[in-house]
Amino acid sequence: MTDAPTLSVIISCFNEEESIGECLRRTLGAVPQAEIIVIHGGRDRTADIAEEMARAHPNIRVIRNLDDRGKGHAIKVGIRNASSDVMVQLDADLQFMPEEIPKVARPVLDGTADLSFGCRFMEGSNVEQYRFSFFRVMGNRIVNRYVTYLSRRTFYDITTGFKAWTREAIDRIAFKDDRFIYEAEIAMRAALGGCRIAMVPITYFNRYGGISGHGRGWREPFSIVLTGVKILVFSTLIRLSLW
């Protein structure tokens, strides 16, 4: 397709009405020629707000993901609907900066990498504006080290929601998980499959609004620990070719 955009930005959302407008405005400013695909699986006004903006900006496409099965499933829907052979995954909650989309996508667009990870935990990243909990810090440290050990590739941030990839690479990876484990699954399958992987330091903030996928209060540490255990288990299964 000769008139296809050079970049598709996939923004998966679940009840992000507080941040989606600002996220789209900043994304349009950062990559005005990109195709922007919003996949919404919640029940608030996120899709309505995005559709209002799409009327003025035809490069925005909104998909109401009525069969929503989780974040991994939403990203699969975005991949299927993307027009470009290079895609960026961006969260809608503005913890990641849309202005850094060109920075994260550059290694893939330049042809020096098949995947690019926007990393919060490497030299050069800026997390001064984010308040990490003990469980998040320890959880990320453990899963990053374990996946690094299993894959024999250094990973700084396998759970980042800010990535870029080529269509060929993501099709070859063919991740299976529909929920949150897909992030680690992409890292493991990419490393074991011989993909060229770039690590890019990024800036990270507290959520603009809404509720984290891990919830709040007493549920958050429990959810983080449970997700971490699942990552360790499924990463091992991938390494042993059992999943």
**Is 136 within 8 Å of 224 (Cβ atoms)?**
yes
Domain membership flag for residue 79? yes
Domain membership flag for residue 238? no
**Is 228 within 8 Å of 142 (Cβ atoms)?**
yes
Domain membership flag for residue 241? no
Largest CA distance in the chain: 52
Domain membership flag for residue 148? no
Q: What is the pLDDT of residue 42?
A: 93
Q: What is the pLDDT of residue 221?
A: 82
Q: What is the pLDDT of residue 49?
A: 98
Place of tokens 């469980």: 135
Domain membership flag for residue 140? no
User: What residues contact 149, with CB distance under 8 A and at least 6 apart?
Assistant: none
Q: What is the pLDDT of residue 215?
A: 52
Strands 86-91 and 8-13 come out as parallel
Domain membership flag for residue 139? no
Question: How far is 221 from 201, CA to CA, in rounded Å?
Answer: 26
Quote the number of domains for the chain: 1
Taking each helix axis as running N to C, give the angle between helix 20-30 and helix 46-56, from 0 to 180 degrees, rounded to the nearest 10: 30
Q: What is the pLDDT of residue 52?
A: 98
Q: CATH no. for residue 114?
A: 3.90.550.10
The boundaries of the domain holding residue 14 are: 8-133+156-212
Domain membership flag for residue 180? yes
Strands 115-119 and 163-166 come out as antiparallel
pLDDT in tens, the chain (243 residues): 446 789 999 999 999 999 999 999 999 999 999 999 999 999 999 999 999 999 999 999 999 999 999 999 999 999 999 999 999 999 999 999 999 999 999 999 999 999 999 999 999 999 888 877 788 888 899 999 999 999 999 999 999 999 999 999 999 999 999 999 999 999 999 999 999 999 999 999 987 655 545 455 556 788 888 999 999 999 999 999 999
* Span 183-200, pLDDT tens digits: 999 999 999 999 999 999
Q: What is the pLDDT of residue 211?
A: 54
Domain membership flag for residue 129? yes
Q: What is the pLDDT of residue 2?
A: 47
